[in-house]
Structure 1
Amino acid sequence: MTAYAAYDLVAIGRVGVDLYPLQHGVTLDEVRTFEKFLGGTAANVTVAASRHGLRAALVSATGADAFGRFVHRELLQLGVDDAHVQTITAGPPTPVTFCEIFPPDHFPVWSYRYPTAPDLLVTPESLPLKVIREARVFWSTLTGLSQEPSRAAHRAAWEERGRAPFTVLDLDHRTEFWASGEAARSAATWALPFVDVVVGTAEECEVVTGEADPLRAARALVDAGVALAVVDRGRRGALALTHDELVTVPGFPVHVVNGLGAGDAFGGALVLGLLEGWDLERTLHFASVAGALVSARLECSAAMPTTAEVHALLSDVEVADGAL
């Protein structure tokens, strides 16, 4: 794919291969067959944005192996520019992630990326700084701060942007990547002055702020200086807070198959709403429906909905509400 002079979205962070079981309701030792998909939060968010017609690029790295080749191929097939995804020849392999599927709300995950992963080896010197500076939205994740040199690369990217609008931190907390919750909280606190939008689940926001209540957690983030705090509450809906506005929306009931990709679909849809200048209520409704659609499907990246699919479900809900 030809690199764009400017992208709607540039994301930096995790990429790898998801190996999802085709037998559900059983533990991994009982699973017989798997199917592989592109995975990793940053990659999934770029795919989700691309499905909404946005120009998206990923800054990351893979190993020089078959799974790395698969990642590059899938990114391109799913509409994401892979020009800034490095191939590290003398390093760890492309990571793989397994999960168990126990709908509606139990999806244990095992990520094989020890002691490190290629995406954590991205250096400040390797960054496409002009691309990052000119992106309309720059998306980063808390996981990217868990190791060096990735942490230094994130700082260099943020400094290049100078806290330009829509510099996003996705809290994307995975306990296995951190020595403790306090270490993750410390990294997030360090990052907040560089970003103006924070998005995370209620559980992730609690890790970062110490507040179990989603509204108090969002308020703590806004009080720390971010312009917009968004709490994705999954089936319970979403909440967004700015210095002068609070918006909450309900969740959308669906038959859950695999909830692991819902937050990434929410993120890609959030990007669309921000760039289109939608009001917060419309943006949250749209993002919540996008997340619900993915949770009703097995895969994550390949399941990201189009704008038309989200609008169709929104229309169905509005018709049903009118009928009531």
Structure 2
Amino acid sequence: MDAEPEPYELITMGRLGVDLYPLQVGVPLARAETFGKFLGGSPANVAVAAARLGRRTALVSRTGADPFGEYLHTELRGYGVDDRWVTPVPAYPTPLTFCEIFPPDDFPIHFYRRPRAPDLEIRPEELDLGAIRAARAFWVTGTGLSVEPSREATLGALRERGEAGTGDLTFLDLDWRPALWPDPAEAGPLYREALRGATVAVGNLDECEVATGEREPYAAARALLAAGVRIAVVKQGPKGVLALTSDGESAEVAPLPVEVVNGLGAGDAFGGALCDGLLAGRDLDSALRRANAAGAIVAGRLACSPAMPYADEIDLALTTGTGTLPERTP
């Protein structure tokens, strides 16, 4: 008899698409002439980031039945992310995302997800709930709550983790993208429902305000804890990151200096490294410092998924005190 497969260390679920980034920094999209093509989508990038750090990861998502979908499967496998639960939706094209790059802090992003993104067609009845229950960590995003059937799939997976008692590391990335919601007014109540099924919440100040009504960092963190999570992580931009736990632990970490090239993938690198740190049993301060360093490294690079750092790069950034590192070929 074949042995039971080992549970995944991390399963992420949600957005997946192709990032097309101009290779000219500081050039408006209308005048850009050459682009780099990369795997994109926040949950996909988080899975890549964790895989770079040695974690056994998988992604639950969907693509179009088109060449861009084939490209994403190839990229996921190349990064060591299991793509068995990434399935085609023939009715819709694989999403594209363009950005403009104006360092240090202006990165307009343009989503092409019409008439509907395949990753919003994740269906509850198609989820491998056994694998989701068994995974050591599970990561979903707020965008998955924006429409059905993805909404019920996201909430159902969170309930499954909670009911099975396997949800110690069940992450909700608040991931507030108002342009991706048909009715942004629905977001607050749905975020609060999802928070009841999560144990770790991660969001910036805007996202925390949508989810809890609170914007002051400590008040937002306390509101996230009151909503049901055990660890609340509040990203404060230039002021760094704050985390509180339901056990009364706290940590606040300043950002790591970096010469910013493109800030768009930094949060995903932070998420993957945070998963890795908590899976490793690191204390909260150490996990946040490593996650912060991972984010800084990616902010200093053009792309998102190819830029995700290896563990020794995070070590080097923490040792040297800067996220500005040369890119390394895998």
Shared fold by TM > 0.5?
Answer: yes
- TM-score under structure 1 length normalisation: 0.94
> Corresponding residue for 1:130?
130
Count of residues paired in the alignment: 315
**3-state SS of 1:83 partner:** strand
CA contact (8 A) 1:49 1:268 kept: yes
Alignment of 1:229-248 (within 5 A): 229-243=232-246, 244-248=248-252
- Matched with 1:296 is 300
Please identify, of 232-241 and 75-84, the stretch whose mean Cα deviation from structure 2 is larger. 232-241
Whole-Å separation in 2 of the counterparts to 1:247 and 1:16: 34
Q: Report the counterpart of residue 48 of structure 1 in structure 2.
A: 49
Unaligned runs of 5+ in 2: 323-330
User: Where does the alignment leave 5 or more consecutive residues of structure 1 unmatched?
Assistant: 319-324
State how far apart, in whole Å, the 1-side matches of 2:134 and 2:286 are: 26
Cα deviation, 1:79-136, whole Å, max 9, x if unaligned, reads 10001111122x2110000001010011011111123111100101111111111000
- Structure-to-structure mapping, 1:1-324, within 5 angstroms: 4-89=5-90, 91-162=91-162, 164-179=167-182, 181-243=184-246, 244-317=248-321
Which amino acid in structure 2 is aligned with residue 94 of structure 1? T
Query: Aligned partners of 2:232, 2:12: CA distance in 1, in Å?
Result: 18
For the Cα contact (< 8 Å) 1:5–1:131, is it kept in 2? no
Identity, % of aligned positions: 55
Q: Alpha-carbon deviations, 1:155-199, whole Å to 9, x = none?
A: 221222126211110011111012454322121012111111100
Q: Scaled by the length of structure 2, what TM-score is found? A: 0.93
Residue in 2 aligned with 1:321?
none
State the secondary structure of the residue aligned to 2:264: helix
CA distance in 2 between counterparts of 1:280 and 1:202 reads 20
What's the CA shift for 1:317?
Answer: 2.5
Deviation at 1:70, TM superposition (A): 0.5
Distance, in Å, in 1 between the alignment partners of 2:215 and 2:159 is: 31
Q: CA deviation at 1:209?
A: 1.7
Give the conservation status (yes or no) of the 8 Å contact 2:270–2:295: yes
* Aligned partner of residue 84 in structure 2, secondary structure: coil
Greater mean alpha carbon deviation, residues 258-267 or residues 20-29: 20-29
Report if aligned partners of 2:197, 2:228 keep a CA contact under 8 Å in 1.
no
Give the C-alpha shift of residue 296 in structure 1.
0.2
Q: Deviations over 1:235-273 (max 9, x none)?
A: 421110112112101001100000000000000000011
Alignment check: 8 A CA contact 1:209 1:217 kept: yes
Amino acid at match of 2:173: D
Deviates more, 1:217-226 or 1:69-78: 217-226
Question: What's the secondary structure of 2:196's corresponding residue?
Answer: helix
Pair 1:79–1:109, CA change in 2 (3 A): same
Structure 2 counterpart of 1:63, one-letter code = G
Counterpart of 2:186, as a letter, is A
**Residue 211 (structure 1) shift:** 1.7
Judge which range, 99-108 or 309-318, deviates more: 309-318
Contact 1:62 1:88 in 2 (8 A): yes
Contact 1:181–1:207, Cα closer than 8 Å, also in 2: no
TM-fit CA distance, 1:4: 4.9
Query: In the TM superposition, what whole-angstrom CA distance separates every residue of 1:217-251 from its partner, at most 9, and x where no partner exists?
Result: 11111112210000123442111011211210100
Q: Give the RMSD, CA atoms, in angstroms.
A: 1.4
State the partner residue of 2:327. none
**SS state of the match for residue 82, structure 1?**
strand
